[in-house]
Chain A
């Protein structure tokens, strides 16, 4: 699972590398983004704003990446008791706290398997994401439009694959459907990155009021 998630993210990484050079960043800038920012959504938001607004939009690109990264903070709250990481391990763990590592970890049954899933997936994604970013950036011009290779569809499919195992209960299905609609419908009218955060508000409202919950699932809801 960890390796296949890493490989899938690698496809996404080629797409990021190629799109980043197309947005006007050089290979080094692209690579440093993947090494230090290491959060696909934030990185795509960053280069997307730069592609549309040019160097004058760097400030907006930073804010957009920052806002899109907020979900990682919530993932970190979830991962903290599972990892029990202190010192250097906490600093490294924080950097690896992303969609994929959290999704794999929280789909495991026991705490030991959750921690193992987190570290293996985080490491696999970090390695594949960065090496494929480099490959994508170098091949960027030769590859031409990444859409020709369907890499944008691959990125969407990767998110769908991570989402899929989490859609078992009615409440999760309702939140997933609402979040999908909110994010897509508000995209034309809100700055890049904000629709995804707004979709998170759906989870806060539904979770806070415990809407759409079956009685039988209430006991398990706080897992």
Chain B
């Protein structure tokens, strides 16, 4: 498979999930259990993405400058800093630590 074929096939595959979700009848979410699972699924996936993005490099777990960066980000979230300020601060902390 060429890289271009993979790109187009992969894009279609990702879109298929998105569109499929819109084809499911509304009543699916009337069930409190399904609604609860859908809510918690967002939490689980965002948390997993945070963890993977923060603590892994490829297939290895790594502890590096991203950890203090995320500690600073969390502190800024506690103090209700704007989203962009929090993200920029995390980037700056990681960049400065790596520079030192």
> Which one of A73-81, A109-117, A131-139 contacts B?
A73-81
A76 touches B17 (CB 8 A): yes
B42 touches A196 (CB 8 A): no
Answer yes or no: B100 CB below 8 A from chain A CBs.
no
A59 touches B1 (CB 8 A): yes
Partner-B contacts on A (CB < 8 A):
1, 4-5, 7-8, 11, 25, 29, 32-33, 36-39, 41-42, 46, 48, 50, 52, 55, 58-59, 61-62, 65-66, 69-81, 85, 90-91, 93-95, 97, 99, 102-103, 106, 147-164, 166-167, 171-172, 175-185, 187-188, 192, 195-196, 199-200, 202-204, 206-208, 210, 221-223
Please give 13 more A-B residue pairs, beta carbons under 8 A apart, in addition to A79-B21, A97-B21.
A1-B83, A71-B45, A76-B20, A76-B21, A90-B22, A106-B42, A150-B98, A154-B88, A156-B54, A159-B50, A161-B73, A162-B46, A206-B40
Partner-A contacts on B (CB < 8 A):
1-11, 13-22, 24, 26, 28-29, 31-33, 35-56, 58-61, 65-66, 69-70, 73-74, 77, 82-84, 86-96, 98-99
Name the A residues within 8 Å of B91 (CB-CB). 11, 149-151, 153-154, 157
A4 touches B39 (CB 8 A): no
Name the A residues within 8 Å of B74 (CB-CB). 160
B29 touches A78 (CB 8 A): yes
Closest Cβ–Cβ distance, residue A90 to chain B (whole Å): 5
**Prevailing SS type, chain A contact patch:** helix
Beta-carbon nearest neighbor of A182 in chain B: B48
Name the B residues within 8 Å of A46 (CB-CB). 6-7, 10
A166 touches B93 (CB 8 A): no
B90 touches A156 (CB 8 A): yes
Closest Cβ–Cβ distance, residue A209 to chain B (whole Å): 9
Which of B42, B60, B70, B98 is in CB contact (< 8 Å) with A148?
B98
Closest Cβ–Cβ distance, residue B70 to chain A (whole Å): 6
CA distance A172 to B41 in the complex (A): 9
Beta-carbon nearest neighbor of B33 in chain A: A208
B87 touches A176 (CB 8 A): no
Name the B residues within 8 Å of A182 (CB-CB). 48
Which of B4, B17, B55 is in CB contact (< 8 Å) with A72?
B17
Name the A residues within 8 Å of B5 (CB-CB). 58
CA distance A21 to B15 in the complex (A): 23
